[in-house]
Amino acid sequence: SPCCLPPTLSRHQLRRRGSSKRSGPLGDQPFPGLLQLENLSREGLVDVLRAAVVDQKGPLVTLNKPPGLPVTGKPGEPTLCSVLPELSQSLGLRDRELQIVQASGKETSGLVLLSSCPQTASRLQKFFIHSRRAQRPTATYCAVTDGIPATSEGNIQAALKLEHVDGVDLVIPVKSPSRKDFQEGVKRTLSHFHVVAMGSGCALVQLQPLTVFPSQLQVHMVLQLCPVLGDHTYSARVGTVLGQRFLLPAESTKPQRQVLDGALIRRLCLSPAQSAQLPLHLHLHCLHLPGLRPREAPMKLLAPLPPYFSRTLQCLGLHQQ
């Protein structure tokens, strides 16, 4: 059953969470729960990540990562990998340093799975590879989309390639790819989607990737003419004429801030300037894992939605149908 929706927020909580007062290192309202990396020291980042631990079982540590934090990056940049030694120490793991098994992308919030045991990490990585080959989904994301998919559930298939455009790596769909395209890095991608709720011209959608490709879920939702809310990279590929949406050519459409309908901005209680800063509403909510030992029951790891995501659901009336 759909597991995206948080308990309904009261109006008092909405007002409090939507107020314009600062909330320390976790950012400016009206997007509570956003990480302001530029304001954080290394120690501060370790504190934030330690507070983000949602589960610790045997060698496994599960975090609920805030959006905006990259997993890897250039030397000297604040990343999850760069503070793993300090995080391992602060969790009392001494000489057993954590390593990443599975993680949500930089702009995505949600589950990060870490392991202090190399053998367990290797076993789980093999499990994820075998699950993908068998087309068994292991990860479920929650997304809010600008627009409602034409069908309540289905599969999205597309051949995708990475292209370096104006100093940025962008994902480009490839129509009718040739064998040569696949030899040159084009990949077939597949995601399953299920619409959980609809309201205000938006939808709460569960997404399950069955392949792994950068920005796969964002690009797949753009191909459905329903970009993810806060997608300031690929949403510009969806054009509108007389209320009808259509796809613009991916190769010639440059990334830009997402442009939202005025009525939607008002429903979100935002100014146009604030809507241009809207965080990506894509959250790695659930991971299915095998038991850690033989005959142990499978595990289901959950990461609660970020406060700004819950606030958006409340503003748009996206309640479980």
Q: What is the pLDDT of residue 128?
A: 95
Residue 251 has pLDDT above 50, yes or no: yes
- Contact indicator for 138, 101 with CB cutoff of 8 Å: no
Give 38-134's CATH code, choosing from 3.30.2350.10, 3.40.640.10, 3.40.50.720, 3.30.465.10. Answer: 3.30.2350.10
Q: What is the pLDDT of residue 28?
A: 44
**Per-residue CA distances from 175 to 35, 129, 158 (Å):** 38, 26, 8
Q: Of 176, 206, 213, 209, whose CA–CA distance to 190 is shortest?
A: 209
| Cα distance between residue 30 and residue 21, in whole Å | 9
Q: What is the pLDDT of residue 309?
A: 96
Q: Of 105, 52, 80, 2, whose CA–CA distance to 307 is shortest?
A: 52
The string of pLDDT tens digits covering residues 48-88 is 999 999 999 889 999 999 999 999 888 888 899 999 999 99
Average pLDDT along the chain = 88
Q: What is the pLDDT of residue 227?
A: 98
Task: Provide the residue ranges of all domains of the chain, joining segments of one domain with +.
Answer: 38-134, 136-158+190-320
Confirm whether 38-134 and 136-158+190-320 share one CATH topology.
yes
Give 136-158+190-320's CATH code, choosing from 3.90.75, 3.30.1490, 3.30.2350, 2.60.40. Answer: 3.30.2350
What mean pLDDT do residues 84-95 have?
Answer: 90
The secondary structure of residue 28, as a DSSP letter, is B
The string of pLDDT tens digits covering residues 215-250 is 999 999 999 999 999 999 999 999 999 889 999 999
Q: Assign 246 to helix, strand or coil.
A: strand
Q: What is the pLDDT of residue 34?
A: 85
pLDDT bin (cut points 50, 70, 90) of residue 29 is low
Q: What is the pLDDT of residue 23?
A: 37
Share of the chain above pLDDT 70, in %: 90
pTM: 0.89
In one-letter notation, the amino acid at residue 256 is Q
